Amino acid sequence: MTERLVRPWEAVDFDRLVREYVPPPEYFDTAYLASPDEIAAVQLTRVRERARRAATVPFFAERWAAAGVGPDDLRTLDDLARFPTYTVDDIRRSIDAHPPFGDYQGVTPADAVREPVRVFMSGGTTGRSRPTFYTQWDREVGSLLTARALSRQGIRPGDVVLNSWAYGLHNGAFSFDEALHHWLNCVVLTTSTGNVTSTERQVELAIEYGATAVCTTGDYLLRMAEAATALGYDPKVDLKLRALPNIGDPDVLSETFGVEYFRSYGFHEVQWVSVECPAHDGLHIFEDAFVVQIVDPETGAELPDGELGAIVITELYKTGSPQFRYNIMDLSWLYPPGRCECGSWLRRMGPFSGRGDNMVKLRGINLWPEGVGEVACALDGVEPDYFVRVWRDGTRDEMEIAVVSRRDPGGHPALADDLERVLQQRFGVRIHARVVGPGGLDADTELHTSPKPKRFRDERSQDRR
């Protein structure tokens, strides 16, 4: 006899879901304003439940047994520090040992009969792609969290929104689509990238349908602004954008479109983690769904508030693949506990500040490519587009940053000299600089083919062959 399938509306208790994870806009009048004691109580209850579920997954069970800890050791939130962290390298080793999905998943394809299950791959911008299973519950809660961020960034129910992310193996485009459609009641035009729907056509669609936002990279949104100008439109006037849910240079995007920018943070395995409020003083963490810790990228030791380190995430909502003290190696810092001027007690974190595993020690100086890029792009005449590479020259490591400028090519050498001086003054070590025209870095950054632009390449392993 054929086993009865469980459909999406049967798999998820939506009354419970919205009670435990309040959707926008109600969220910002309720859980967003919870007291510190209320927040801590919810987190402790959920992290204990998360630990019990993670303990049934071989990847975690083995690591915890080796560290001598288990779910019963979680008496306070401070006890989280006793549990080992893991990185993408541990996940990749799991995949190699247990192909094709690894042993870190909480469900398998066979579980799809009992509950709809999806699998998405990471974009692979930092190495081999990572598959992650999502149950129907995971997708609904994850998209609700994304909707919170999009709502804070200015998207409202009923808005027409262009989803210009590439639909592929990764979940980026799907996350935006689900959040906009399921939880914000927006009308979504799924244009995908410029390779699917030409940039000029996307501009025309945005104007014709009065789109209030375009979900894509900040770089591509600026390309749309260029296309709009070439077509005779004013991006600030004719493109009726009211929100900028785009990863990019906040100042450039705000100036180009005349719209307030709100930073946010999230990643493949857990969806959206935090978002800025109108005070623009740190990103408020959705603490009903996440515990965020900051650790030393090299030692893994927890760092004091305010100190830059690697982000360690424990999610509190998933029923599929757990993420329990996952060291994503993105760099940020935590604000000290306190009430924001917006009224929220939620912990705040700094914006994404680079990759811990991209750190380059150049003649004794620790450098992160993103930090070098931020300084370079602040120089007059340099566009918000860069690419950093390192290589070995004999016994010395060398670094070069290539930047984009719209100035006359005849002035590029002088601009490169200026940039090298600025970088020398800022970092105390020589960094080579190269200036190219618009589009000159697209092959390196993989702007048109990668889910997010690549900014760094380590060529030292090639030099040692």
Same domain, residue pair 366 and 388? yes
| CATH number of 448's domain | 3.30.300.30
Is the pLDDT at 460 greater than 90? The verdict is: no
Task: From 214, 194, 197, select the one nearest 256 (Cα to Cα).
Answer: 214
Residue with tokens 């030692």: 299
SS3 call for 454: coil
Could you tell me if 222 and 340 lie in one domain?
Answer: no
Identify whether 28 is part of a domain. yes
Burial of 45 (0-12, 13-18, 19+ CB in 10 A): exposed
> How confident is the model at residue 346, as a pLDDT?
98
- For residue 147, being part of any structural domain is answered with no
Asked which of 220, 243, 261 is the last residue of a domain, the reply is 261
Distance CA 129, CA 269 (A): 12
What tens digit of pLDDT does each residue of 68-123 get?
999 999 999 999 999 999 998 899 899 999 999 999 999 999 999 889 999 998 75
Q: Which of 327, 349, 371 is the last residue of a domain?
A: 349
pLDDT at 123: 58
| 225 and 298 co-located in one domain | no
121 plus 15 within the same structural domain: yes
> What's the pLDDT band for 125 if we cut at 50, 70, 90?
very low
Q: What is the pTM of this model?
A: 0.82
In a domain, 180, yes or no: yes
Same domain, 30 and 176: no
Shared domain for 307 and 422, answered yes or no, is no
User: Using one digit for the tens of pLDDT, what is the confidence trace for 301-329?
Assistant: 999 999 999 999 999 999 989 999 999 98
Q: Report the CATH number at residue 286.
A: 3.40.50.12780
Asked if the structure places residue 182 within a domain, the reply is yes
Same domain assignment for residues 14 and 115: yes
Please report the sign of the dihedral spanned by the C-alpha atoms of residue 43, residue 22, residue 327, residue 357.
Answer: negative
Answer yes or no: is 354 within a domain.
no
Q: Do 276 and 129 belong together in one domain?
A: yes
The verdict on 333 and 405 lying in the same domain is no
Q: What mean pLDDT do residues 233-239 have?
A: 96
Q: Give the confidence band of 450 by pLDDT, cuts at 50, 70, 90.
A: low
Rounded Cα distance, 356 and 377, in Å: 21
**What CATH code is carried by the domain that includes residue 168?**
3.40.50
**Res. 393 pLDDT band, cuts 50 70 90:** confident
Q: Domain ends where: 349, 377, 403?
A: 349
Number of domains in the chain: 3
Is the predicted pLDDT of residue 49 greater than 60, yes or no?
yes
Same-domain pairing of 133 and 269: yes
Mean pLDDT of the chain: 92
Among the residues of 56-163, which ranges form H helices? 58-67, 88-97, 136-152
Q: Give the burial class of 442: count Cβ atoms within 10 A of its Cβ; 0-12 exposed, 13-18 middle, 19 or more buried.
A: middle
Range of the domain at 380: 359-463
- 124 & 213 share domain: no
Asked whether residue 383 is assigned to any structural domain, the reply reads: yes
**What is the spatial distance between Cα 449 and Cα 193, in angstroms, rounded to a whole number?**
9
Q: Answer whether residue 405 is part of any domain.
A: yes
